[in-house]
Amino acid sequence: MDDAKRLAAALNVLTKERQFSNTKARAAARQDPAVNWPATKQLNADFNPEVDGLESFAMNDGSICAWRPGQFRYAAQRARS
């Protein structure tokens, strides 16, 4: 879960920028080798940016860097079983 915590911390810094968007979050996550892109794609299969806001990211260690829309931040969480 350390990977998700690290990515959440990095993305939360970016959320404070005026022009933060899903595109910027994804670009930042693409630089992190711990993001599991096939699992992230599956996690966000029904993702709609107009409704959901920002994507969550699945990590190689099985944890998730999850978007918390009501709090406007990312948080690390254990993967759902």
Q: What is the DSSP letter of 73?
A: E
Residues 6+ apart with CB under 8 A from 58: 35, 36, 39, 40, 42, 43, 64, 79
pLDDT in tens, 20-66: 999 999 999 999 999 999 999 999 999 988 888 899 999 999 999 99
Q: What is the pTM of this model?
A: 0.91
Reading the block at residue 17, the tokens are 């920028």
- b/e for 49-59, b at 16 or more Cβ within 10 A? eeeebbbbbbb
